[in-house]
Amino acid sequence: MQPISSVKGKAYPLGLKNVDTDIIIPAAWLKTISRSGLGKGAFQTLRGVAGNVFDDPAYAGAPILIAGDNFGCGSSREHAAWAMADLGISAVIAPSFSDIFSGNAFKNGLLAIVLPQEAIDRLMDVAKTDEIHIDLETQTVTTPFQDRFAFEIDPFRKHCLINGVDEIGLTLKSSDAISAYENKISASQSWLSPNQA
Protein backbone atom coordinates (compact mmCIF):
# COMPACT_ATOMS: atom_id res chain seq x y z
CA MET A 1 0.00 0.00 0.00
CA GLN A 2 1.26 3.49 -0.90
CA PRO A 3 1.57 5.84 2.09
CA ILE A 4 -1.08 8.57 2.12
CA SER A 5 -1.31 11.50 4.51
CA SER A 6 -3.37 14.16 2.77
CA VAL A 7 -5.65 14.71 -0.22
CA LYS A 8 -6.30 18.10 -1.76
CA GLY A 9 -8.34 18.99 -4.78
CA LYS A 10 -11.72 19.14 -6.43
CA ALA A 11 -14.53 16.95 -5.17
CA TYR A 12 -17.42 15.33 -7.03
CA PRO A 13 -20.55 16.59 -5.23
CA LEU A 14 -22.57 13.37 -5.61
CA GLY A 15 -24.50 13.51 -2.34
CA LEU A 16 -26.52 10.39 -3.13
CA LYS A 17 -27.55 8.00 -0.32
CA ASN A 18 -27.22 4.20 -0.32
CA VAL A 19 -24.71 4.16 -3.17
CA ASP A 20 -24.34 0.39 -3.41
CA THR A 21 -21.37 -1.43 -4.87
CA ASP A 22 -23.43 -2.45 -7.92
CA ILE A 23 -23.65 1.30 -8.65
CA ILE A 24 -19.93 1.79 -8.05
CA ILE A 25 -19.04 -1.11 -10.35
CA PRO A 26 -21.69 -3.34 -12.00
CA ALA A 27 -21.33 -7.12 -11.81
CA ALA A 28 -20.51 -7.43 -15.49
CA TRP A 29 -17.10 -5.90 -14.67
CA LEU A 30 -16.25 -8.51 -12.05
CA LYS A 31 -15.03 -11.11 -14.51
CA THR A 32 -11.55 -9.65 -14.46
CA ILE A 33 -8.69 -11.45 -12.78
CA SER A 34 -6.69 -8.25 -12.30
CA ARG A 35 -7.11 -5.18 -10.08
CA SER A 36 -6.53 -2.54 -12.71
CA GLY A 37 -8.56 -1.02 -15.51
CA LEU A 38 -11.89 -0.90 -13.66
CA GLY A 39 -12.18 2.90 -13.78
CA LYS A 40 -13.90 2.56 -17.16
CA GLY A 41 -16.84 0.80 -15.51
CA ALA A 42 -16.95 2.97 -12.39
CA PHE A 43 -20.40 4.48 -11.69
CA GLN A 44 -21.56 3.24 -15.09
CA THR A 45 -25.29 3.51 -14.38
CA LEU A 46 -24.93 7.04 -12.99
CA ARG A 47 -22.79 8.09 -15.94
CA GLY A 48 -25.51 6.98 -18.29
CA VAL A 49 -27.57 9.97 -17.12
CA ALA A 50 -26.97 13.33 -18.78
CA GLY A 51 -25.51 16.03 -16.52
CA ASN A 52 -23.93 13.56 -14.07
CA VAL A 53 -21.07 14.88 -11.91
CA PHE A 54 -18.55 12.36 -13.18
CA ASP A 55 -18.67 13.65 -16.75
CA ASP A 56 -18.93 17.32 -15.76
CA PRO A 57 -15.65 18.97 -16.90
CA ALA A 58 -15.77 21.16 -13.75
CA TYR A 59 -14.85 18.10 -11.69
CA ALA A 60 -12.62 16.23 -14.13
CA GLY A 61 -9.97 14.22 -12.31
CA ALA A 62 -11.30 15.14 -8.85
CA PRO A 63 -9.55 13.08 -6.14
CA ILE A 64 -12.46 13.38 -3.68
CA LEU A 65 -16.06 12.15 -3.75
CA ILE A 66 -18.79 13.46 -1.47
CA ALA A 67 -21.72 11.11 -0.91
CA GLY A 68 -24.73 10.45 1.30
CA ASP A 69 -25.48 7.93 4.01
CA ASN A 70 -24.56 4.23 3.79
CA PHE A 71 -21.99 4.57 0.99
CA GLY A 72 -20.70 1.26 -0.42
CA CYS A 73 -23.54 -0.91 0.87
CA GLY A 74 -24.25 -4.23 -0.79
CA SER A 75 -21.77 -6.68 -2.21
CA SER A 76 -18.32 -7.20 -0.70
CA ARG A 77 -16.61 -6.68 -4.08
CA GLU A 78 -13.29 -4.94 -3.53
CA HIS A 79 -13.58 -4.10 -7.22
CA ALA A 80 -15.55 -1.07 -5.97
CA ALA A 81 -12.47 0.34 -4.25
CA TRP A 82 -10.24 -0.62 -7.19
CA ALA A 83 -12.59 1.04 -9.67
CA MET A 84 -12.69 4.27 -7.66
CA ALA A 85 -8.92 4.32 -7.31
CA ASP A 86 -8.59 3.67 -11.03
CA LEU A 87 -10.85 6.65 -11.66
CA GLY A 88 -8.41 8.76 -9.65
CA ILE A 89 -10.41 9.04 -6.42
CA SER A 90 -8.31 9.00 -3.24
CA ALA A 91 -10.95 9.87 -0.64
CA VAL A 92 -14.71 9.59 -0.08
CA ILE A 93 -16.52 11.71 2.47
CA ALA A 94 -19.95 10.52 3.65
CA PRO A 95 -22.10 10.42 6.80
CA SER A 96 -21.70 6.64 7.00
CA PHE A 97 -20.18 3.72 5.14
CA SER A 98 -20.97 0.03 5.00
CA ASP A 99 -18.53 -1.92 7.16
CA ILE A 100 -17.17 -4.03 4.31
CA PHE A 101 -16.62 -1.08 1.99
CA SER A 102 -14.73 0.96 4.56
CA GLY A 103 -12.51 -2.06 5.20
CA ASN A 104 -11.87 -2.53 1.49
CA ALA A 105 -11.21 1.18 1.01
CA PHE A 106 -8.70 1.20 3.81
CA LYS A 107 -6.86 -1.83 2.39
CA ASN A 108 -6.39 0.10 -0.84
CA GLY A 109 -5.29 3.37 0.68
CA LEU A 110 -8.61 5.01 -0.20
CA LEU A 111 -9.69 7.31 2.64
CA ALA A 112 -13.31 6.75 3.78
CA ILE A 113 -14.04 9.77 5.94
CA VAL A 114 -17.14 10.03 8.11
CA LEU A 115 -18.57 13.51 8.71
CA PRO A 116 -22.03 14.52 9.93
CA GLN A 117 -24.72 15.43 7.40
CA GLU A 118 -24.38 19.21 8.13
CA ALA A 119 -20.71 19.07 7.17
CA ILE A 120 -21.58 17.08 4.05
CA ASP A 121 -24.16 19.70 3.06
CA ARG A 122 -21.56 22.45 3.46
CA LEU A 123 -18.89 20.54 1.53
CA MET A 124 -21.36 19.81 -1.29
CA ASP A 125 -21.71 23.57 -1.64
CA VAL A 126 -18.02 24.34 -1.49
CA ALA A 127 -17.21 21.56 -3.98
CA LYS A 128 -19.15 23.37 -6.69
CA THR A 129 -16.49 26.08 -6.83
CA ASP A 130 -13.51 25.28 -4.67
CA GLU A 131 -11.06 22.66 -3.55
CA ILE A 132 -11.27 20.63 -0.36
CA HIS A 133 -8.33 19.59 1.78
CA ILE A 134 -8.23 16.41 3.85
CA ASP A 135 -5.37 16.06 6.32
CA LEU A 136 -5.02 12.61 7.87
CA GLU A 137 -2.31 13.65 10.34
CA THR A 138 -4.52 16.25 12.04
CA GLN A 139 -7.76 14.40 11.13
CA THR A 140 -9.42 17.44 9.60
CA VAL A 141 -11.26 18.43 6.45
CA THR A 142 -10.84 22.11 5.59
CA THR A 143 -12.00 24.50 2.87
CA PRO A 144 -10.65 27.84 1.62
CA PHE A 145 -13.51 29.47 3.58
CA GLN A 146 -12.15 28.59 7.03
CA ASP A 147 -14.48 25.61 7.42
CA ARG A 148 -12.80 23.02 9.60
CA PHE A 149 -14.38 19.61 10.27
CA ALA A 150 -12.68 17.08 12.53
CA PHE A 151 -13.11 13.37 11.81
CA GLU A 152 -12.42 10.19 13.74
CA ILE A 153 -10.29 7.35 12.45
CA ASP A 154 -9.17 4.11 14.03
CA PRO A 155 -5.57 4.76 15.21
CA PHE A 156 -4.33 1.49 13.73
CA ARG A 157 -5.81 2.31 10.33
CA LYS A 158 -4.33 5.79 10.49
CA HIS A 159 -0.92 4.35 11.27
CA CYS A 160 -1.16 1.86 8.38
CA LEU A 161 -2.32 4.52 5.90
CA ILE A 162 0.33 7.08 6.80
CA ASN A 163 3.12 4.52 6.77
CA GLY A 164 1.86 2.39 3.87
CA VAL A 165 2.00 -0.73 6.05
CA ASP A 166 1.68 -4.17 4.40
CA GLU A 167 -0.92 -5.66 6.71
CA ILE A 168 -0.20 -9.27 5.81
CA GLY A 169 3.48 -8.71 6.55
CA LEU A 170 2.49 -7.18 9.88
CA THR A 171 0.27 -10.13 10.82
CA LEU A 172 2.95 -12.61 9.80
CA LYS A 173 5.08 -11.16 12.60
CA SER A 174 2.50 -12.75 14.91
CA SER A 175 3.09 -16.22 13.43
CA ASP A 176 4.17 -17.65 16.78
CA ALA A 177 0.98 -16.47 18.45
CA ILE A 178 -1.08 -17.96 15.63
CA SER A 179 0.76 -21.29 15.97
CA ALA A 180 0.19 -21.27 19.72
CA TYR A 181 -3.53 -20.68 19.14
CA GLU A 182 -3.69 -23.51 16.61
CA ASN A 183 -1.93 -25.89 19.01
CA LYS A 184 -4.28 -25.00 21.83
CA ILE A 185 -7.33 -25.61 19.64
CA SER A 186 -6.13 -28.86 18.15
CA ALA A 187 -5.64 -30.16 21.70
CA SER A 188 -8.95 -28.94 23.16
CA GLN A 189 -11.29 -28.96 20.14
CA SER A 190 -9.91 -31.55 17.77
CA TRP A 191 -13.36 -31.80 16.13
CA LEU A 192 -12.71 -28.42 14.53
CA SER A 193 -10.54 -30.03 11.85
CA PRO A 194 -12.91 -30.66 8.96
CA ASN A 195 -13.23 -34.20 7.67
CA GLN A 196 -12.08 -34.01 4.09
CA ALA A 197 -15.16 -34.90 2.09
Task: Give the list of residues 6+ apart from residue 83 with CB closer than 8 angstroms, or none.
Answer: 24, 25, 29, 38, 39, 41, 42
Is 182 a binder of other proteins (CB under 8 A)? yes
- Residues 39-78 vs other proteins: string with x where CB under 8 A? ------x----------------------xxx--xxxxxx
Which residues between 127 and 156 bind other proteins (CB under 8 A)? 154-156
148 phi and psi, to 5 degrees?
-145, 110
* Shortest distance, position 61 Cβ to other proteins, whole Å: 25
* Shortest distance, position 133 Cβ to other proteins, whole Å: 26
What is the identity of the amino acid at 98?
A: S
* Contact set with other proteins (CB under 8 A): 16-18, 20, 22-23, 26-28, 30-35, 45, 68-70, 73-79, 81, 96, 98-100, 103-104, 107-108, 154-156, 167-168, 171-172, 174-175, 177-178, 181-182, 185, 189-197
